[in-house]
Amino acid sequence: MVNHHDTALDNSDKKGITRRRFILGTVIVAIVSAFGSLFSLLKVLAPSKKGGGYVSTIAPGDVLVYASGSKIGTEIKASSMNIGDAELAYPKGKSSNPANLVQLIKLKESDFKSPTDLKLTDKGFVAYSAICTHLGCTVSWVKNNASYTECFCHNSIFNPAEGEKVEGGPAPIPLAQIGVKVTDNDTIIFTSDFTGPIGPQV
Amino acid sequence: MFKWFDERLELKKFKEKFLSKTFPTHPTFLLGEIALFSFITLVVTGIFLGLLYEPSTKMVSLFGAMVPAAYASVVKIDLLPIGMLIRRIHHWSAMIMIAAILAHLMRVYFTSAYRNPREINWFIGLALFGVSLFAAFTGYLLPYSNFSVTATSIGYYIAKSVPWIGNWLSTLLFAGDFPSSETVPRFFFLHVMLIPLILVSLIGLHMVILVKQKHTEPAVNQRNKESQNGKRLIGIPIWPEQAIISIAFYFFLLFVVILIATYIPLNPIETYGPPSPGTPVMRPDWYFLVIYGFLKLIPGDLSFSILGGKITPETIGGVIFPTFLILVFALIPILDRTNDPQHYISNPLHRPFMTAFGITGGVFLTMLVVSGYIDVLKITPRTMIIYVIVATAGTWIITYPLLKLYNKNKNGGKNA
């Protein structure tokens, strides 16, 4: 006959949980659960996106107004711009959304080449998103013999006559075009939405 | 008086144990102190600025114009009798602190003071470097000028370009989208509370480990000690010699910083103006120029995705490249390891590979800084990439064989 009682006594040190291991286990469980609960905090600290990225609110028919300079907020007159000029513009009354910022450029009509969409230009006026597709700076206009669009942050260069295709620098895609038209009373209005994605492509 | 304190705090014992700690003397051993002292200046000036700053983007009226409250409060600080000076001292100290950390890091690298048993302090030092950069980055935003918003926006999109977790990471750091009204309070807290706490803890750890492990010593001490059969460090005690040198040095440094801050303007937010649609021509502070230059060199069509994670030029320049740099720095004591503890600094000339590697790395990073100026130099990114490669490879080809030759001529100089 096997004495069950004795066997149990003999193994008590090896098989059963010792006091030390029990305490150690409790401490580990406590630490893990305490830090585990902190993960919910990370969710709180990173609020969910409201809009997420650049979403333009331009509607066809919106009037272009100056976005910078002394005439900020006033309507851009088509006759005030010469060939080779460019202006930063917003749709009137929608300047709080940076995604709406465009660069309005006047070029010689014969200079336009594909992929510029000629249907979206009018009398040499063409408009593109002014938000650099690299890291979101506002692009600038460099005026010389062959004027071009450049982002001064990391020197991405875009060709306005060819759909703002990337001529140099780190920008991954062209600036999207948007349709414009000169109205009878010399103002300029939008006629379409952007032709492609705008803002940093991340 | 002293007796009263001594009876209660055992000051004599403290003096014997800690104040007599030996500082080996070497001019380059002061670089870390410059970083530490700049940090003290940053804390003191930061307290002044923090008391007057308003972390809010609410639009308020300033001289008739509507500007964000943060911007207005900094303009008001600038208008105080010494406000602008304090702000400039703060900014200059930050630049000097990071420069000093880098110089200190170079000193430790070239004298191989990172080896066994000091690897831990090398890692803590790297962490201090990284956290200091992050402190500087969060400080960029606070004046909320056009410059601040543009620079922070670039950082936001770099955070967003991290593969897989970019969206979550950017919302966590910037408290949502940027620009939005939540980012300034979040950055204010990070800049004045969380990051300084981390910095103080890491500095404390760095110092405690330094006291425990003791300094490395100039190699000349080894010969002196062997002749005298001594074991203790050769140098000067912390009190009074080193303390007096340090105090004098701190005030001299403060004098230099105030002099620079008085005459050289920095971050003139009145010139940048409040945030506007246009982006000014601007460059980041010097310590970000490496990444800034690298970002300019990457061709835009270098985009691809792996396992659902999108790798864009921004990811390569802003995430992968800095991570790679950190990895290289972190691997140094792991790859160049010794089994026996090393307590003497080595002559860089006697370590051809490590020294040539360090110089080559330095030239590579300097060339990336130059790349930040390709618009001024009128060089295309493609040409600049060739220059970077040629300069880097050329440095290696020249320095490594030369150092080898030097050691050969010295009849196999000891690889100490």
d(CA A156, CA B257): 36
Q: pLDDT tens digits, chain B, 416 residues: what are they?
A: 888 888 888 888 888 777 777 787 777 788 999 999 999 999 999 999 999 999 999 999 999 889 999 999 999 999 999 999 999 999 999 999 999 999 999 999 999 999 989 999 999 999 999 999 999 999 999 999 999 999 999 999 999 999 888 888 998 999 888 888 889 999 999 999 999 999 999 999 999 999 888 888 887 777 777 766 666 677 888 888 888 988 999 999 999 999 999 999 888 888 888 988 888 788 899 999 999 999 999 888 778 888 778 888 888 989 999 999 999 999 999 998 888 888 888 888 989 999 999 999 999 999 999 999 998 999 998 999 999 999 999 999 999 999 999 888 875 444 44
Residues B176, A67: C-beta atoms closer than 8 Å: no
- CA dihedral sign, ordered B51, B57, B60, B65: positive
- Selected for mutation to probe chain B from A152, A153, A155 (highest B CB count within 10 Å) is A153
Q: Which chain A residues contact residue B161 at CB under 8 A?
A: 200, 202
Bridge partners of B61, per DSSP, are B66
Q: Does residue B15 sit within a domain? A: no
- Are B168 and B208 found together in one domain? yes
Q: Does residue B212 sit within a domain? A: yes
d(CA B262, CA B258): 6
Chain segment A90-117, per-residue pLDDT in tens: 999 888 888 899 999 999 988 898 889 9
pLDDT above 70 (res A6): no
Q: Which chain A residues contact residue B160 at CB under 8 A?
A: 200, 202
For residue B163, whether the previous peptide bond is cis, meaning omega lies within 30 degrees of 0, is no
- Selected for mutation to probe chain B from A135, A144, A167 (highest B CB count within 10 Å) is A135
CA A171 and chain centroid, separation: 12
H helices, E strands: number in chain A: 2, 11
Start-to-end Cα distance in chain B: 51
- Are B253 and B397 found together in one domain? no
Q: Does residue B7 sit within a domain? A: no
Residues B296, A168: C-beta atoms closer than 8 Å: no
Q: Which of B314, B346, B378 is where one domain is finished?
A: B346
Residue A141 DSSP SS3: strand
> Smallest Cα–Cα separation from B109: which of B339, B365, B329?
B329
pLDDT at position B411 is 57
- Are B122 and B207 found together in one domain? yes
| Six token digits for residue A153 | 């942050």
CATH number of the CATH domain containing B271: 1.20.810.10
Residues B176, A49: C-beta atoms closer than 8 Å: yes
Burial class of residue B76 (count of CB atoms within 10 Å of its CB; 0-12, 13-18, 19+): middle
- Are B60 and B70 found together in one domain? yes
Q: What are phi and psi of A69, to 5 degrees?
A: 85, -175
- Are B314 and B166 found together in one domain? yes
Q: Domain range for residue B76? A: 22-346
Q: Does residue B89 sit within a domain? A: yes
- Are B332 and B185 found together in one domain? yes
- Are B74 and B193 found together in one domain? yes
Residues A172, B301: C-beta atoms closer than 8 Å: yes
d(CA B161, CA B173): 13
Confidence of residue A39 (pLDDT cuts 50, 70, 90): confident
Confidence of residue A160 (pLDDT cuts 50, 70, 90): very high
Mean pLDDT of chain A: 86
- Are B132 and B277 found together in one domain? yes
For residues A147 and A167, the answer to whether their CB atoms sit within 8 Å is: no
Residues A166, B276: C-beta atoms closer than 8 Å: no
- Are B48 and B74 found together in one domain? yes
- Are B372 and B319 found together in one domain? no
Q: H/E element holding A6?
A: helix A4-11
| Total count of domains within chain B | 2
- Are B337 and B357 found together in one domain? no
Q: Which of B346, B374, B397 is where one domain is finished?
A: B346
Reported ipTM: 0.80
Measured at the CA of B41, the angle between CA B39 and CA B42, to 5 degrees, comes to 60
Q: Which chain B residues contact residue A134 at CB under 8 A?
A: 300, 313-314
d(CA B219, CA B199): 32
Q: Does residue B293 sit within a domain? A: yes
Q: Which of B297, B320, B346 is where one domain is finished?
A: B346
Q: Does residue B393 sit within a domain? A: yes
Q: Does residue B272 sit within a domain? A: yes
d(CA B256, CA B238): 24
Q: Does residue B80 sit within a domain? A: yes
d(CA B296, CA B317): 8
- Are B271 and B226 found together in one domain? yes
